[in-house]
Chain A
Amino acid sequence: MAGWQVLADAATPGDLMAARMQMGLSLGWHIIIACFGVGMPAITVFAEWRAIRTGDEVYELLAHRWAKAMGVLFAVGAVSGTILSFEMGVLWPGMMETYGQVIGLPFTLEGFAFFIEAIFLGIYLYAWDRLPPRVHLLTGLPVCVAGVASAFFVVCANAWMNQPRGFDLENGTLTGVDPWAAMFNPATPPQTTHMILAAFMVAGFGMASVYAVAILRGRRDRYHRLGFAVPFTVAAVLTPVQIGVGDWAAKFLATNQPAKLAAIEGLYETTAGASLHLGGIYRDGELHYALEIPNALSLLAHWDPGATITGLAEVPAADRPPVNVVHWSFQLMVAMGVALLVLGLWCLLVRWRRKRLPESRWFYRFAALSGLAAVLALEAGWVTTEVGRQPWIVWGVLRVEDAVTPVPGLGTGLAVVSGVYVLLTAATLYVLRRLAGTPLPLAPQEPGPEPPTPERGEP
């Protein structure tokens, strides 16, 4: 028994890495599903509203299909989110012991939002035949609102980790807390907006991808065209907005979290009229092999080509984030965002000039990948913001190695959790594929490549 006794020693570097990987894995996994929970209800409710307004059976079928997938995704999202709240304490008790109360407010509110979401999703999914159509449609609205609210509240807490506010500390003891100031910290507006838009993009492009694949396989009937066009339009319209918000978030870093921006750009020396670097590998305070655009970084960050950008040199070596990971994740996110912007413009141009969806197979090949691209951008964005905050868990206040649990054997925990997630991923993809592949109950509205089903009453 004594052999198991844990004296609160510091965690080994290996255990710290295992804890960070486990948190990253479970958060990075949950966030994909959570995006569908935020974005998908609105798109589904829109289809149901069209069905009720116009009596269009194709919209009704789409709403039913999407609701079914939403049911699976919401269940998986609910449980994969739960492990995160366990891990806050299991892995990072050093943060929660002191600061749990500082960030408790947005999480309490998130609890209520999650309640409303779960209750009305249960009603929306299971009471389709128990409620009049219009009432049923209305039960979808709280799901949409609460999903967005949940995302807002959770990201408030993450924003606090970047811009900790609302507390007074004396010798490691809290002497005053202002929960509202902690929740509405300076990083809250750009981060929450960026995340909520990202959620709609992941959901929209993700849903559209499924139908792009079907269209590539020759199913160009109205069901598949609408199933593609509705979510794709939502996501494509939001993409330029998201790029603007991303610019706002980066400008925010330039003034509020300069070390993160310096890591994003691989900038060592504080520079006036700094260049923007595309690609490149950071070594010994310099980016090698990068494509350089003179003055562009200063221009982007401050609207002034001669503005001074703070470099990593201003930060003690022990307080610098790992540059290459942050630099490359940011580049990947931006690249995916721009690619999705171009894809959206392509679709818009064809629709504006020819009043129909694109017919090019190349368009649908790229569209089939758009969901994946949106997910990559999402994950890369999270890596940028989370790794860019290192070595701090609470920026400038608490380091990750002081927050991690001293319990030994975190590597084993990581292995077990990873195993479960491999199975969970496989099962989720399998079930979603089966749902997407379920044959349509209705005859296609227009004769496509498949043989048309004779309608009733015809000879």
Chain B
Amino acid sequence: MTTADWLLSLMWLALTAYVLLGGADFGGGFWDLVAGGSARGRHQRELIEESIGPVWEANHVWLIFVIVLCWTGFPAVFAAVSSTMYIPLTLAALGIIARGASFAFRKASTGLARRRLFGAAFAGSSVLTPFFLGTVAGGVASGRVPIGIAEGDIVTSWWNPTSALAGVLAVAVAAYLAAVYLCADARRAGSAVLLGAFRRRAIGSGFAAGAIALGGVLVLRRDAPFLFSGLTTVALPVVVLSAAAGLTSLALLVRGHYLVARVSAALAVAALLWAWAVAQYPMLLLPDTAIDDASARPEVLQVTLLVSAVGAVLLVPSLLWMFWLFQRPAPRKAEPG
């Protein structure tokens, strides 16, 4: 592997972390949106808020990290994608603002009307943001973003069959991950009702995401032939792994193994992302921009990998401690004394 390959792998790893962690936070917003009226959906919303609250900001940083690695390691790709994708990226950025701010505002608010207003903004933007980010991915994967500044069509680059598929798939996958993760949280909170509700939602959204991915293959065959041929040849084992892990997660949910189901669901989604990467390798932007045509100078790649390795020494233990801390049963409020 070249230095550029290593940096690209690091970037893809960070993107995977964002989809698995940040994606699930958006999925939490999706289930908040469909939880029903204020009284009926109250317990679901509380559980979602408790699960997301302490971790969503850290999960969100993965996105920043992906963006920064992209412009450092592959500046021409960053310039091409962000200039051509001006519209969906601006909408996604505004969605991110609406999601994060209104989530924090709702938590700090009292009064039904205000909590409803901020809650609606939080939940609505949690669906729109992954959709728009998905359309960007679809545009890149179907070869609609050529190298160069704003060389692609600023509308059809993200408003096309593959982008629509990727956008809807992003929302479905986020909802699926969130529901699977929330099952274990519901069990820890000791609520059989919530556990049942999220288990049904996890299985339902798992089937939906699988169906969209499967049906999407037909879309890709017509609309993104390069990706399609990659997915059905070199990347086929990874596609199969994704499907198998997805089905396994559903079986594990049925049998009540909620922590292992999380791993299996995450693997299914991660494999989907890596299948795309394998199918497109070594092309960054279609039709003919390969990794070595668009990567930064070797001295930049080396320094970036070096500081990332050092940074990881600080980051990984901190992240693990955070997740461990908030996955333990909550202590009783207000200890005596």
B interface footprint on A1-30 (CB within 8 Å = 1, 0 otherwise): 100111010000000000000000000000
A interface footprint on B147-165 (CB within 8 Å = 1, 0 otherwise): 0111101111000000000
A130 with B325, Cβ < 8 A, contacts A122-B58, A406-B150 known = yes
Which 8 A-B residue pairings sit nearest by Cβ, starting from the closest?
A104-B72, A89-B82, A100-B75, A75-B104, A97-B79, A100-B71, A79-B100, A101-B296
- CA A79 to CA B99, docked complex, whole Å: 9
- CA A86 to CA B132, docked complex, whole Å: 13
- Contact of B318 with A116 in the complex, beta carbons under 8 Å: yes
- CA A90 to CA B78, docked complex, whole Å: 9
Interface residue? B336 (CB, 8 A) = no
- Contact of B94 with A90 in the complex, beta carbons under 8 Å: no
Interface residue? A376 (CB, 8 A) = no
Q: What chain A residues lie within 8 Å of B53 (beta carbons)?
A: 122, 126
- CA A107 to CA B109, docked complex, whole Å: 34
Q: Within residues 66 to 99 of chain A, which ones have a CB less than 8 A from any CB in chain B?
A: 68, 71-72, 74-76, 78-83, 85-90, 93-94, 96-99
- The closest CB in chain B to the CB of A112 belongs to B311
- Contact of B307 with A89 in the complex, beta carbons under 8 Å: no
- CA A142 to CA B61, docked complex, whole Å: 16
**Residue from the list B93, B303, B315, B326 in contact with A83, Cβ < 8 A:** B93
Q: For residue B17, give the distance in angstroms from its CB to the closest CB of chain A.
A: 11
Interface residue? B255 (CB, 8 A) = no
A413 with B86, Cβ < 8 A, contacts A115-B58, A174-B297, A407-B154 known = yes
- Contact of B54 with A123 in the complex, beta carbons under 8 Å: yes
Interface residue? B81 (CB, 8 A) = yes
| Total A-B residue contacts, Cβ distance less than 8 Å | 252
Q: What chain A residues lie within 8 Å of B232 (beta carbons)?
A: none
A82 with B93, Cβ < 8 A, contacts A100-B71, A101-B75 known = yes
- Contact of A72 with B60 in the complex, beta carbons under 8 Å: no
- Contact of B105 with A427 in the complex, beta carbons under 8 Å: yes
Q: What chain A residues lie within 8 Å of B153 (beta carbons)?
A: 1, 4-6
**Residue from the list A80, A104, A116, A176 in contact with B97, Cβ < 8 A:** A80
B interface footprint on A392-430 (CB within 8 Å = 1, 0 otherwise): 000000000000011100000100110010001001100
A interface footprint on B62-95 (CB within 8 Å = 1, 0 otherwise): 0111011101110110111111011001101110
Q: Within residues 205 to 235 of chain B, which ones have a CB less than 8 A from any CB in chain A?
A: none
Question: Among the interface residues A72, A111, A118, A125, which one has the most CB atoms of the partner chain B within 10 A?
Answer: A111
- Contact of A76 with B54 in the complex, beta carbons under 8 Å: no
Q: Within residues 405 to 459 of chain A, which ones have a CB less than 8 A from any CB in chain B?
A: 405-407, 413, 416-417, 420, 424, 427-428, 431, 434-435
A74 with B57, Cβ < 8 A, contacts A90-B90, A130-B330, A431-B108 known = yes
- CA A424 to CA B94, docked complex, whole Å: 10
Interface residue? B308 (CB, 8 A) = yes
**Residue from the list B61, B93, B96 in contact with A111, Cβ < 8 A:** B61
Residues of B bordering A, CB below 8 Å: 53-55, 57-58, 60-61, 63-65, 67-69, 71-73, 75-76, 78-83, 85-86, 89-90, 92-94, 96-105, 107-110, 118, 148-151, 153-156, 296-297, 299-300, 303-304, 307-308, 311, 314-315, 318-319, 321-322, 325-326, 328, 330-331, 333-335
- Contact of A96 with B79 in the complex, beta carbons under 8 Å: yes
Q: For residue B72, give the distance in angstroms from its CB to the closest CB of chain A.
A: 3
- CA A89 to CA B300, docked complex, whole Å: 19
A79-B100, A82-B96 given; 17 more Cβ-contact pairs under 8 Å? A79-B97, A86-B93, A89-B78, A97-B76, A97-B78, A107-B71, A107-B72, A112-B307, A119-B58, A122-B55, A129-B331, A179-B299, A179-B304, A405-B83, A405-B86, A413-B86, A427-B101
Q: For residue B87, give the distance in angstroms from its CB to the closest CB of chain A.
A: 8
- Contact of A119 with B154 in the complex, beta carbons under 8 Å: no
- Contact of B318 with A115 in the complex, beta carbons under 8 Å: yes
- Contact of B68 with A8 in the complex, beta carbons under 8 Å: no
- CA A427 to CA B119, docked complex, whole Å: 13
**Residue from the list A8, A122, A420, A424 in contact with B57, Cβ < 8 A:** A122
